Structure 1
Amino acid sequence: MILPSASPSTWLLALVTAAAYAIGAAVASRSQASRSHLAMAPAWALHAGAIGWSQLGGAPHFGFAAALSMTAWLVLTIYALERELFPQMRTRWALGALGGVAVLLAALFPGRPLQATASPWMPLHLTLGIACYGLFAAAVAHAWLMSRAERQMRQATQLHSSLPLLTLERLTFRFVRWGFALLSATLVAGWLFSEQLYGRAWLWDHKAVFSVLAWVTFAVLLLGRARFGWRGRNAVRVLYAGAMLLLLAYVGSRFVLEVVLGRTT
């Protein structure tokens, strides 16, 4: 099995970015709450540069690791924006680890080169898909924080998040609704313009099947919350199930092709 390798400059940028995430998380944990988020800013900017370099520094590549890296960067961007509204949010080590691992994976598995004959609509389709991944990843992160806060309340221990439980719940389902809208747009675009995007009609492969199953799961979750007031652990389990199906739809299938089978096409 021969895997495509990234260029030395890509590896250097990835290593510097991962180190910046580790240093930023360590500095942030010792800084004042009002300034701690600034420690992660250099790593966030380097991560954006790494993503841009991977697409503009040579022939554009895309694969499961690139999708994970872009998703992680979007989650970090959402966190940075939320940090301005909720300064008490403290998940620096987890986010630093997420960003560092994602950027190193993207260098280790650069993915397949995008064909020059690809549809000009392909970048828009990929952007919709990655934005959808980012919103659902943010929903999963907030659901995890919500579950942790609920568990700490039951155990009468000190809350690390300091965000009210209802606020975390509202944020979680806000991201679910936005992600569901983008997932719907991505599926409709793939169904209507499959021939222009991929040169073939809509095909019920495992990527399409998992994507539709994820859409159905999220639709049930939103319907259950609107009609029956679903919340708490049961709603979180449905969210996790939908997110896992969505992860398998592209990232999982590309991981099997690129890593397990050693294929890039």
Structure 2
Amino acid sequence: MILPTASSPGWPLAGAAALAYLVPVFMGRQVSGRAQRLAMTPGWLLHALALAAGVLGSTPHFGFAPALSMTLWLVLATYAVEHQVLPQMQSRGAVVGMAILAAVVVLAAAVFPGLALQERSSPWLALHLTLGIASYGLIAAAVVHAWLMGRAEQRIRQAEQVPGRLPLLALERLTFRFITAGFVLLSATLAEGWLFGEQLYGHAPRWDHKNVFSLLAWLTIAILLVGRARFGWRGRKARRVLYAGAALLLLAYVGSRFVLEVVLGRSA
């Protein structure tokens, strides 16, 4: 397990980002949703600086915690852009939940920075990591939207009228756009891993835990998209399949690296 030194620039940046993320959590219900989202901006910017310090520093590192940190940073960026394009996208609970998660993962990335990247200097590695993290971010954004769909369906069943919210069907279409985009990038990530496995990992592709869980996640999301197109899957059934695929994807890299870095105390 590789831990940063106390002088690492990631530590003060991660601590500052975590504290900034907690500001909207304690703002209370009396403030507007817009003010709450604006309060997350300093945390998001500090989070970006902390990620840059870990990945672009003199000794770049990457592992399960930076992967989670980058994923949540992308989800927050997506959520911020959506609010500019679709002001109806409003959920105070989602903002608070993501702020708490972001505070946790940005600190976790400082504690567990992962493997030194110069040990694997393949020119394909940067593309592989970029595609993988982007697919994680899009699938995670889909999960957040699926949760919002569940909340919207619950309000409809309870005959609760919330004016100005994004219609359920529009939210559903948006969710599946994220799923489709994430599936495309996940497919590209897996294809690159199998085609250039020797350059990336120093050995031919093998059926380890990461590859098995990645393939299972890919199959699960593929089944969801086929079920949606062929059988009109939607609502609770679609959400359950999405959650299963996202859980498998989380186990693929984050889970396997967590076991290696934390449980077994190894970097490879």
What TM-score, normalized by structure 2, do the two folds share?
0.92
2:231 aligned with 1:232, yes or no? no
Corresponding residue number in structure 1 for 2:113: 110
2:219 aligned with 1:216, yes or no? yes
Corresponding residue number in structure 1 for 2:39: 39
1:1-265 paired onto structure 2 within 5 Å:
4-8=3-7, 9-27=9-27, 30-88=30-88, 89-90=90-91, 91-157=94-160, 159=162, 162-265=165-268
Q: Does the 8 Å contact 2:18/2:107 carry over to 1?
A: yes
Amino acid at match of 2:61: H
Alpha-carbon RMSD: 1.9
1:45 & 1:256 partners in 2: Cα distance? 30
Could you list the per-position Cα deviations for residues 88-116 of structure 1 after superposition, in whole angstroms to 9, with x for gaps in the alignment?
32232112112111101111211121134
Q: Does the 8 Å contact 2:214/2:252 carry over to 1?
A: yes
2:152 & 2:66 partners in 1: Cα distance? 32
1:93 & 1:86 partners in 2: Cα distance? 19
1:113 & 1:161 partners in 2: Cα distance? 48
Amino acid at match of 2:196: F
2:5 & 2:223 partners in 1: Cα distance? 41
Quote the sequence identity (%). Answer: 60
Structure 2 unmatched runs, 5+ = none
Amino acid at match of 1:4: L
Q: CA deviation at 1:221?
A: 0.5
Q: Does the 8 Å contact 2:2/2:115 carry over to 1?
A: no
1:16 & 1:93 partners in 2: Cα distance? 18
1:180 & 1:50 partners in 2: Cα distance? 28
1:124 & 1:256 partners in 2: Cα distance? 24
Deviates more, 1:202-211 or 1:156-165: 156-165
Q: Does the 8 Å contact 1:153/1:159 carry over to 2?
A: no
Q: CA deviation at 1:37?
A: 2.9
Deviates more, 1:111-120 or 1:62-71: 111-120
Could you list the per-position Cα deviations for residues 195-236 of structure 1 after superposition, in whole angstroms to 9, with x for gaps in the alignment?
111111111111111111111111110001001100000011
Q: CA deviation at 1:159?
A: 4.6
Deviates more, 1:34-43 or 1:192-201: 34-43
1:116 & 1:205 partners in 2: Cα distance? 20
Structure 1 unmatched runs, 5+ = none
1:229 & 1:237 partners in 2: Cα distance? 15
2:164 & 2:75 partners in 1: Cα distance? 17
1:207 & 1:33 partners in 2: Cα distance? 39
1:11 & 1:44 partners in 2: Cα distance? 16
Q: Does the 8 Å contact 1:6/1:109 carry over to 2?
A: no
What TM-score, normalized by structure 1, do the two folds share?
0.93
1:6 & 1:171 partners in 2: Cα distance? 43
1:233 & 1:6 partners in 2: Cα distance? 46
1:5 & 1:246 partners in 2: Cα distance? 27
User: Cα 1:243–1:33, aligned 2, differ >3 Å: closer, same or farther?
Assistant: closer
Q: Does the 8 Å contact 1:221/1:238 carry over to 2?
A: yes
Amino acid at match of 1:119: S
2:2 & 2:186 partners in 1: Cα distance? 30
2:164 & 2:61 partners in 1: Cα distance? 38
1:102 & 1:79 partners in 2: Cα distance? 17
Could you list the per-position Cα deviations for residues 20-79 of structure 1 after superposition, in whole angstroms to 9, with x for gaps in the alignment?
111144459544455543222111111100000112233111110000000000000000
Q: CA deviation at 1:7?
A: 3.8
